[in-house]
Amino acid sequence: MDCRNECTYRKTGLRAAQPDASYYFRENADIVSWEASTIDLDIYPPPNLVIEIANTSLADDKGEKRLLYEAMNVSEYWIVDVQNLEVIAFAIANRGSQRINQSQVLPDLAIFLLEEALQRTRQDNQTQV
């Protein structure tokens, strides 16, 4: 697994994207150099998972950014709605997306478990969560 924070993704014909977190899994985990801060999606595959943390940007994350990640053909897109303690997850295929309750890039991970953990961060010690 390769986690990328503060990384910019570029693809010809699209505006650049800088998600809060992005991940490459399995065969793609080592495909891009760790030092790369800008990734050209005309050369490299898109990340398997992109995550946006939405505090005041929920409408943009659900709308414009979701459409952008669809066009970039990422496999899965999660929005963490910090106001409502909710994780909104989408599987992306064929330049479209569908809301999911279970991750497809992290098999056996139910999205409600992420929401439970997020809710617990408001009640319990971070280390316990």
Walk me through the domains of the chain, giving residue ranges and CATH numbers: 2-120 (3.90.1570.10)
Nearest Cα neighbor of 28 from 43, 9, 47 is 47
Statement: residue 2 has pLDDT above 70: no
- Taking residue 2's Cβ as centre, other Cβ atoms within 10 Å add up to 15
Statement: residue 10 has pLDDT above 70: yes
Q: Are strands 49-54 and 76-81 parallel, antiparallel or unpaired?
A: parallel
Give the residue with greater pLDDT, 95 vs 54.
54
Percent of the chain with pLDDT over 90: 68
**Backbone angle region of 123, left / alpha / beta, with phi > 0 → left and psi within -120 to 50 → alpha:** alpha
70 within 8 A of 95, measured Cβ to Cβ = yes
Statement: residue 27 has pLDDT above 90: no
Tokens, residue 61: 């994350």
Statement: residue 69 has pLDDT above 70: yes
* Alpha-carbon gap, residue 15 to 88, rounded angstroms: 23
pTM, full prediction = 0.88
Q: Which H helix or E strand runs over 123?
A: none
